[in-house]
Structure 1
Amino acid sequence: MLSSAFGRGLRLVVSACALSAVLAGCSVTGGTVATASFMPTAPDISSHYAALESEKFPVDEVDTSHVDPLFLKQTVTYRSPYPAGTIVVDPHKRFLYLVQKDGQAIRYGVGVGREGLAFAGTGIVREKREWPHWTPTSAMIAREPERYRKWAKGMEGGIGNPLGARALYLFKDGKDTRYRIHGTTEPDSIGKAVSSGCIRMMNQDVIDLYSRIPLGTKVVVL
Structure 2
Amino acid sequence: MATTVLAGCTTTSNQTVAAPVEPSVDNSMLASMYGPMPEEQFPLPAIPYQKIPSRFHRQMVANPTSERPGTIIVDTSNHFLYLTMEGGQAMRYGVGLGRAGFEWAGRGVIQYKRQWPRWTPPDEMVARQPELQPYSIANGGMDPGLNNPLGARALYIFQNNQDTLYRIHGSPEWWTIGKSVSSGCVRMLNQDIIDLYNRVPGKTPILVMNLSAPMVAVAPGLPQPV
Q: TM-score, normalised by structure 2?
A: 0.77
Letter paired with 1:52:
M
Long gaps (5+) in structure 1: 1-16, 26-37
| 1:10-56 deviation digits (Å, cap 9, x = unpaired) | xxxxxxx9xxx7xx99xxxxxxxxxxxx8752222110000001111
Residue in structure 1 matched with residue 48 of structure 2 by the alignment: 63
Residue in structure 1 matched with residue 96 of structure 2 by the alignment: 111
Shift of 1:99: 0.5
Correspondence 1:122-161 to 2 at 5 A: 122-146=107-131, 148-152=132-136, 153=139, 154-161=141-148
Q: Runs of 4 or more off by more than 4 Å in structure 1?
A: none
Aligned length: 189
SS in 1 for 2:63: strand
SS in 2 for 1:200: strand
- Structure 2 residue 147 is matched with structure 1 residue 182: no
Whole-angstrom CA distance in 2 between matches of 1:161 and 1:52: 17
Change in CA separation of 1:163 and 1:110 when aligned onto 2, cut-off 3 Å: same
More helix by share: 1
> Does structure 1 conserve the Cα–Cα contact (< 8 Å) formed by 2:102 and 2:184?
no
Whole-angstrom CA distance in 1 between matches of 2:193 and 2:34: 11
- Structure 2 residue 74 is matched with structure 1 residue 99: no
Long gaps (5+) in structure 2: 1-17, 210-226
Letter paired with 2:40:
E
Letter paired with 2:93:
Y
Whole-angstrom CA distance in 1 between matches of 2:203 and 2:161: 11
Q: TM-score, normalised by structure 1?
A: 0.78
Shift of 1:174: 1.1
> Does structure 2 conserve the Cα–Cα contact (< 8 Å) formed by 1:114 and 1:198?
no
Whole-angstrom CA distance in 1 between matches of 2:101 and 2:208: 9
> Does structure 2 conserve the Cα–Cα contact (< 8 Å) formed by 1:131 and 1:167?
yes
